[in-house]
Amino acid sequence: MNDLEIVEIINTALARELELDPARLTPEASLFDDLELDSLDLVDMVIVLEQAFNFKIREEEEVRSIRTLGDIHQFVIRKKHHLEGNS
Amino acid sequence: MPLNRVVITGMGAVSPYGNGVEILLDSLFSGKNAIQTLPEMEQIKGLKSFVAGIVPEIDSKTIARKYRRTMSKMSIYAALAATEALSQGKVEPYLFQTGDLGVAIGSTIGSIGTMENFFRDYFSDNSLERTRSTLFFQIMNHSCAANVSQMFGIKGTIIAPSAACASAAQAIGIGFDAVASGKIDMMLCGGSDEFHPLFTGTFDLMNAASTHFNRTPSSTPRPFEQNRDGVVCSEGCGLILLESLGSAKRRNADIFAEVVGFASLSDPSSIANPDAQAIRDCMEKALKNAGVNPDQVDYINAHATGTVDGDIAECTAIGALFGNTKPVSSLKGHLGHTMAASGSLEIIGSIGMMEKKQIIPTLNLDKIDPMCNKTRHVQRVESAAIRYILKNSFALGGVNSSLVLRRYGNERFGNR
């Protein structure tokens, strides 16, 4: 799975779960201000990502510092590469 | 003595006929039965009743996802009914913020379907890792009241009475007391429920669900009829906007009727079986609260679900209190038993009768059960100038509720 495929999976999963217009899913989009998500959405977003990529991230400190969609992309890409490097 | 007269200035309905008061009233007046056979119920072991009244597919996307995400079907029904009632009541959005508008919306229980889905997944591997944050908001008992308040930004009283099939009557009664006492100007009141086979199964276990009309669903339920065989469970939501007369006049709101009396009494003789004396006591208490004599009542909208014992007990009680001259009908033959919504949906139907000066008969009442002959049953549409209505709503758990409505002298029906 390359980085573009990871981004595509993330955007598709979040668009479906959170009913977001794909056109709004730019890397610089702020989760709170631009996509108008809140704390409940973030909890469910983590569950969706865990299911999409079959990993556990809920307890990871870095999740709490995510602010933009691009932050999510980069976090998941790093996590995937880390897991693949360890496998 | 109440400080305020309490009038109804808005109505909203989601019923097995569809979304809206208009389709509800049109269907009731045209004698349409809303019951269908559900093939999936035939797959449930031990269940003998396969009929229900289901709300047709409705577009819930009109509700913003931010609010819809915490809603199960019953809250979606409540949100749509609230939208209609507040719109009809011409309630300006700024009023939501003032604290002068509250909600009292009850349901039998939180969403059983949501609970079923959760536990089905949970028991697969004993894991909560897939559980959405929005789950609990759909299964809590005050889900409908909370979701409606959140969606509209309502800051006044919030209360969610839960008394199964008497939930709506209690919600309206609580709202009536609150407005009458001057605590608040407006209360959006009623009940909502979504169908789950557990409802039907509960009555079926007690031999009180309709089982003989699975292939002819429009022939059931049959309140007061000699071949009646039990309850048919349905779903929906009915909400009415209660308002002090002073507030309604200040806002120049249309007034559809007036609520003048309420009682909800416990019947400790049995948690499951109705008792005629307890029902009579409740109706008497509501009339006393209204300051109305039985002679003044023009029409009785019965709870009558089509069970053998319940219909006899209610008829016996009505006959003892009112004699056998007052017209009586039940709307369960049309709608089935919409559970927590039944009280409010049937009150909307009764207000429609008041407006149209016609009494809707009990559907499927071909031959009156001799045990139910102590009252005058309405079997075909009757013209009638209705001033006072008594509405009954009873529930498992030994709960009897009665409301008294009065036609408002200068009522206008400009919206329809």
pLDDT digits (tens, 9 = 90+) for B237-279: 999 999 999 999 999 999 999 999 999 999 999 999 999 999 9
> Chains A and B: how many Cβ contacts under 8 Å?
21
Which residue in B has a C-alpha nearest to residue A41's C-alpha?
Answer: B133
pLDDT mean over B362-391: 97
For residues B180 and B6, the answer to whether their CB atoms sit within 8 Å is: yes
pLDDT the model gives residue B107: 98
For residues B261 and B274, give the distance between their C-alpha atoms in angstroms, rounded to a whole number.
22
Which residue type is seen at B2? P
CB contact, 8 Å: A44 with chain B?
yes
pLDDT the model gives residue A84: 83
CB contact, 8 Å: A40 with chain B?
yes
Encode chain B in three state secondary structure.
CCCCCEEEEEEEEEECCEECHHHHHHHHHCCCCCCEECHHHHHCCCCCCCEEECCCCCCHHHCCHHHHCCCCHHHHHHHHHHHHHHHHCCCCHHHHHCCCEEEEEECCCCCHHHHHHHHHHHHHHCCCCCCCCCHHHHHCCCHHHHHHHHHHCCCCCEECCCCHHHHHHHHHHHHHHHHHCCCCCEEEEEEEECCCHHHHHHHHHCCCECCCCCCCHHHCCCCCECCCCCECEECEEEEEEEEEHHHHHHCCCCCCEEEEEEEEEECCCCCCCCCHHHHHHHHHHHHHHHCCCHHHCCEEECCCCCCHHHHHHHHHHHHHHHCCCCEEECCHHHHCECHHHHHHHHHHHHHHHHHHCEECCCCCCCCECHHHCCCEECCCCEECCCCEEEEEEEECCCEEEEEEEECCCCCCCCCC
Which residue in A has a C-alpha nearest to residue B128's C-alpha?
Answer: A47
User: Residue A51: which of B130, B133, B134 has the nearest Cβ?
Assistant: B130
Give the percent of chain B with pLDDT over 90.
97
**Cα of A58 to nearest chain B Cα, Å:** 9
List the pLDDT tens digit at each of the 87 positions of chain A. 899 999 999 999 999 999 999 999 999 999 999 999 999 999 999 999 999 999 999 999 999 999 999 999 999 999 998 888 766
Q: Do A50 and B69 touch (CB under 8 A)?
A: no
Which residue in B has a C-alpha nearest to residue A39's C-alpha?
Answer: B133
Question: Testing the interface with B: which of A35, A38, A41 to mutate, by most B Cβ within 10 A?
Answer: A41
Q: Do B133 and A44 touch (CB under 8 A)?
A: yes
Question: Testing the interface with A: which of B69, B133, B137, B138 to mutate, by most A Cβ within 10 A?
Answer: B133
pTM above 0.90, yes or no: yes
Question: Testing the interface with A: which of B68, B69, B71 to mutate, by most A Cβ within 10 A?
Answer: B69
pLDDT the model gives residue B1: 64
CB contact, 8 Å: A1 with chain B?
no
Q: Is the pLDDT of residue B97 over 90?
A: yes
Which residue in A has a C-alpha nearest to residue B65's C-alpha?
Answer: A19
Q: Is the pLDDT of residue B146 over 60?
A: yes
**Cα of A51 to nearest chain B Cα, Å:** 8
Q: Do A44 and B131 touch (CB under 8 A)?
A: no
Q: Is the alpha carbon torsion for B276, B280, B286, B290 positive or negative?
A: positive
ipTM for the predicted complex comes to 0.90
CB contact, 8 Å: B69 with chain A?
yes
- Residues in B closer than 8 angstroms to A24, CB to CB, are none
Q: Within a 10 A sphere around the Cβ of B315, how many other Cβ atoms?
A: 26
